[in-house]
Chains A and B, each alone.
Chain A
C-alpha cells in the first residue's frame, strides 16, 4: 500500500450524496456500492491504519466497514454526511479490534494453552510499523509519537488520530465523535499535553540510558 499526496482532507461527496444515491444503495444497486467503496476506500483505510498501524488489520477492518455499510445503509440518517457515518463505523471497528487484542493479551494464560492446539497467532508486532504517509526524515520520531499516542485515553486518541493522521478539521472530528467542537478542542489539547509529558519522560529516560 502506498501513500498519496492529493486531497488528504476528507473527500466531500455532496455531488453524489443525495436521496437518490442513498436510495440506490438501499436497493443494493451494485454500481452505487462500487462508487461508494471507491470514493471512500482510502479515507477508511487510512483511518483504520492510523489506529491499528498494521496494513493487514487495516485492510481487513476496512473491508468489514464496507460490508457493514452495505448491510445497514437503511439505518443511515441523512441528517449526517455519509462520509461522517462511514468514519464512525471505521473508528468503532478499529477500536473494537484494539479492545479485542487487549483482552486477548490479558488472557495470555489461556492463549498459551490454546496455542498448543491451534495455529500460531497471525497478529503482528505493530511497534515497528511505520505509516507510509510519514515523511522519510520524520519516520523515527513518528514511530515514537505513535507509540505514545497508543497510551492516551481512548477519546483523546480518537480525536488526535482523526485530526492529525486523517487531517480532519475540528468540526469534522466533532461530527464523527458526536460531540461539540469545544469538546474536541479540549480532548486534543489534553492529548497534546499528555503526549508532551510522555515524550519528555521518554527522552529523559533514553538520555539517561
Chain B
C-alpha cells in the first residue's frame, strides 16, 4: 500500500516535470542557413534543368539526322524478288554460308 502510494507520487511528479518548460531557441544565423539551403537547392534544380535540356536536344538532333538519312538515301531497288517467298529465298542465298548438302555429299562419298 505504501509502495503504491510512493509510485503514484512518482508518476504525478513525472507527469508534472514538463510544467514551466521554456521554449528552445535557435541562433541568429538561422535565416542565413535557410537562404543558403534555398540557393543550393535552386542551383541543383537549375543544373538538372540544363541536363534535361541537353538530353532533349541530343534526342532531337538524332531524330533530325535519321530523317535526313532516310530522305537522302532511298531504299535499294536492285532486288528482283517480288513475292515473299522469293524475298526469303534471295535472302537465304545471299547470306547462307553453310552448305545444307554438305553431309549428304559426304555420306555419298
Q: What 1/0 flags go to B10-41 for Cβ under 8 Å of A?
A: 11011101101111111100110110011001
* Contact indicator per residue, chain A 171-209, by CB within 8 Å of chain B (1) or not (0): 000000000000000000000100110011001100100
Decide yes or no: A134 and B17 within 8 Å by CB, A42-B23, A45-B24 being known contacts.
yes
Describe B's contact surface by its main secondary structure: helix
Interface residues on B, range: 20 to 34
Question: How far does the Cβ of A149 sit from chain B's closest Cβ, in whole Å?
Answer: 9
User: Does B24 lie within 8 Å of A49, measured CB to CB?
Assistant: yes
Q: Which residues of chain A have C-beta atoms less than 8 A from B33's C-beta?
A: 59, 63
Q: Are A195 and B15 in contact (CB under 8 A)?
A: yes
A138 at the interface (CB under 8 A from B): yes
Knowing A3-B23, A141-B13, the reply to whether A63 touches B18 (Cβ < 8 A) is: no
Which residues from chain B sit less than 8 Å from chain A, CB to CB? Answer: 3, 7-8, 10-11, 13-15, 17-18, 20-27, 30-31, 33-34, 37-38, 41
Q: List 22 A-B contacts (CB under 8 A).
A: A1-B24, A3-B22, A4-B22, A4-B23, A8-B21, A8-B23, A42-B26, A45-B25, A59-B26, A63-B37, A66-B34, A67-B37, A131-B24, A132-B22, A133-B21, A138-B17, A141-B13, A142-B17, A145-B14, A195-B15, A199-B14, A203-B10
Chain A residues within 8 Å of B, Cβ to Cβ: 1-5, 7-8, 34, 37-38, 41-43, 45-46, 49, 58-59, 62-63, 66-67, 70, 131-135, 138, 141-142, 144-145, 164-167, 192, 195-196, 199-200, 203-204, 207
